[in-house]
Chain A
Amino acid sequence: MDSSALIGIWIAAGLTLFMYSSLYKDNPFFRFGEHLYLGLSVGYILIRVIYSNFIATLYVPLFEERDYWLIIPSILGISLYTRFFSKLAWISRITFAFLIGFGSGLGIPRIIAGGVFQQIEKIITPLGTQLTPFEYFSGILIVIGVFSVLIYFFFSWEHKGLVGGVSKVGIYFVMIAFGASFGYTVMGRMSLLIGRCYDLIDYSSSKYYYATIVLLVVIIAVLAVYELVLKKKEQPKT
C-alpha cells in the first residue's frame, strides 16, 4: 500500500473516532473534527464549482472558444451579487425574475401533471379495474386513508360529529405513516453506524498498522489527561 493511501486511512480512522468521542461528552477532539469537516466540505465544493463550472463552462468557452453568447448569462449571474450593495440591489431582481419565471414555467405544469393528477388518478382508478381480493382491500384502505387524512388537515369545518370521527381515523393513518417512517429512520441511522464501524474494524488490521486500535488508545489517554487537568482546574484553591 502506498504511503498516501495509508495516511488517508489513518486520518479517516482518527476523524471518525474524533466524531464518536462526542458520545462521551463534548471535547476538543469532537470540536476539531466538526470544524474540519465543515471547512473541508465548503473548500471542496468551492474548488469543484470553480473548476467544473466556472472554468469549464464559462471561462474556456468565452475566452478561448469565443462564444460571446455566454456574456448574457454571465452578466445575469454576476448581477445576483449586487444584493450585497443596498443601492444596487434592485439589479439582482432582473435575474431573480428570470430564474423564477423560467423555473415556474418549467416546473409547475410538470409537477401538477406528474405529482398531483397522477397521484389522484392512481388512487381512484384501481377500484374500477379487475383486482384480486387483497388488492381490492388494499385499494379501499388507501382511499379511506387519503380521504380521512385530508379531512384531518381540513380546518374550515369544526372537527366534531361525523367530521370529527373521520378526522380521528385520519390521525391513526398519519400515526401509522410516521411509525413506518421512524422505523426506517432508525434503520438508516444504524446503517450509517454500521458503515463507519465496518471501516473502523477494517482499519484495525495489520495491513493498516492497527490504525483504529492505536488511535483509540491515544484518544482515550488524551481524554483522560484532559479530564484530570480540567478537574484540577475546577477544584477550588484552599
Chain B
Amino acid sequence: MNNLFQKLVNLDRRYIYILVSLAVIIPLLYPLYIEINISPAVQNVYDTIESLPPRSVIFLGMDFDPASKAELYPMAEAILRHAFRKNLRVIGMTFWVTGTGLGEKAFADIAKETSREYGEDYVYLGWKAGGTSLLILMGEEGIPSAFPVDHYGKDTASMPVLENAKYLKNIDYLVELAAGSTLGSYYYYGKLKYKFKMGGGCTGVMAASWYNLMKIDWINGFLGGLRGAAEYEKLIKMSDKATKGMDAQSVTHMLIIMMIILCNIAYFIGRAKANQTKGGNNG
C-alpha cells in the first residue's frame, strides 16, 4: 500500500495527461447528460434579451480570438440564436483583430440558420483600430461615423438595421463577450455616459472577478466560461457544443479533485513515515 502511495507521489506527469485526455474524450463520445443548473447571472442576461420588444437593438462585442474560442464562441452563437429568434436587430464588432473571422462566422452561420437578412436584421462592423476612441466616436458622432463601411466594405449609413440606432444611447442592450479587459472600455467610454443596459460573457479565468462587476452594476448578468454558455444553451432550449462539453468538464473536475485528494493523502502518509524513520533512527 505504502509502495503504491510512493508511486502516486512520483507519478510521471504524462500519465496524468493521458488520464485527463480520456476524461475529456470519453464523455464527448458517450455523453452522460449531467444536469446543468441555471445561475442568476446567466438568467439575468437571458431575461433581459427575452424582455426586449421585437426590432430592439442589441450590440454584441465579440472581443475574443481563436485561443479563447472554446469558451466564448458558443456564447456568441447562443446569444445570436436567442436574439434572432426574438426578431431583434444585432450590431456586431470586435476590438480583437485576430477574432475578426470568428465574429463573421458566428453571424453568418446563425443568420443562415434563422433566416435573417444582412443589413436588415444584423450588421457585422468587424475590426478597426482606434480602441476606446471608436467607442467615443460611436457615442458622439454615431456608429456610421466610426464605421462608414462595415466588415464587407458596405456603406453603413443607409442600412435599415441601424435605423433609429445610430448612436450608443439608442442601444437597448449591449452584450460584451470578452477574453480581455474590453468590458472596462465599454463601461467607462460607453455605459457611464450613455446609460444603456450591459451584460456579458467572459472566459473561466475571469469569471470570479466579474461577480464583483455585477455587484457594482457595471453589468446586470454574465456568462462565465463554458458553463455559462451551457446554461444559456439550456435556457434557449438548444443544446450545442457547450452543453456537450459540460459532461467532459464535470468528469475532468472529478478526476482532478480525486487526484488532489489521493496525492495529498499519499504525501502526508509519506511524510509521517519519513518522520517515523527519522525518530526511530534517532532513538
Interface residues of A (CB under 8 A from B): 23-24, 41, 44-45, 48-49, 52-53, 56-57, 106-107, 110-111, 113-115, 118-119, 122, 142, 177, 180-181, 183-198, 201
Instruction: Provide the residues of chain B in CB contact with A190, threshold 8 Å.
Output: 24, 248-249, 252-253
Give CA–CA (A160, B248) in the complex, Å: 48
Pairwise interchain contact A122-B216, C-beta atoms closer than 8 A? yes
Q: Is B71 an interface residue (CB 8 A)?
A: yes
Give CA–CA (A188, B71) in the complex, Å: 8
Instruction: Provide the residues of chain A in CB contact with B17, threshold 8 Å.
Output: 23
Pairwise interchain contact A181-B208, C-beta atoms closer than 8 A? yes
Q: How far is the CB of A6 from chain B (nearest CB, A)?
A: 17
Q: Is B207 an interface residue (CB 8 A)?
A: yes
Pairwise interchain contact B227-A194, C-beta atoms closer than 8 A? no
Which positions 243-261 of chain B face chain A at CB distance < 8 Å?
Answer: 244-245, 248-249, 252-253, 256
Give how many A-B residue pairs fall within 8 Å (CB-CB): 126
* A56, A188, A191, A193 interface centre (most CB from chain B within 10 Å): A191
Q: Is B58 an interface residue (CB 8 A)?
A: no
Give CA–CA (A23, B68) in the complex, Å: 20
Instruction: Provide the residues of chain A in CB contact with B71, threshold 8 Å.
Output: 188, 191-192, 195
Closest residue on chain A to residue B229 by CB atoms? A191
Partner of B28, one of A56, A187, A194: A194
Pairwise interchain contact A114-B188, C-beta atoms closer than 8 A? yes
Interface CB pairs A-B, < 8 A, 26: A23-B17, A48-B97, A56-B128, A106-B136, A106-B189, A110-B188, A110-B192, A113-B192, A114-B192, A119-B216, A177-B208, A185-B204, A186-B253, A187-B204, A187-B249, A188-B204, A190-B249, A191-B225, A192-B68, A194-B24, A194-B248, A194-B249, A195-B69, A197-B21, A201-B25, A201-B29
Decide yes or no: A191 and B70 within 8 Å by CB, A23-B14, A184-B224, A198-B28 being known contacts.
Answer: yes
Q: How far is the CB of A33 from chain B (nearest CB, A)?
A: 13
Give CA–CA (A132, B26) in the complex, Å: 45
Q: Is B264 an interface residue (CB 8 A)?
A: no
Pairwise interchain contact B129-A198, C-beta atoms closer than 8 A? no
Partner of A122, one of B28, B132, B217, B252: B217
Q: How far is the CB of B249 from chain A (nearest CB, A)?
A: 6
Instruction: Provide the residues of chain A in CB contact with B98, threshold 8 Å.
Output: 41, 44-45
Pairwise interchain contact A193-B127, C-beta atoms closer than 8 A? no
Instruction: Provide the residues of chain B in CB contact with A44, threshold 8 Å.
Output: 97-98
Q: How far is the CB of A138 from chain B (nearest CB, A)?
A: 9
Partner of A49, one of B67, B97, B149, B248: B97
Q: How far is the CB of B206 from chain A (nearest CB, A)?
A: 8
Give CA–CA (A181, B98) in the complex, Å: 26
Give CA–CA (A191, B199) in the complex, Å: 22
Closest residue on chain A to residue B215 by CB atoms? A122
Given A56-B128, A57-B129, A110-B188, 12 more A-B residue pairs with CB atoms under 8 Å apart are: A41-B98, A49-B129, A106-B132, A110-B192, A185-B205, A187-B227, A188-B207, A191-B71, A193-B24, A194-B24, A197-B21, A197-B248
* A41, A177, A193 interface centre (most CB from chain B within 10 Å): A193
Pairwise interchain contact B126-A52, C-beta atoms closer than 8 A? yes
Instruction: Provide the residues of chain B in CB contact with A52, threshold 8 Å.
Output: 97, 126-129
Closest residue on chain B to residue A177 by CB atoms? B208
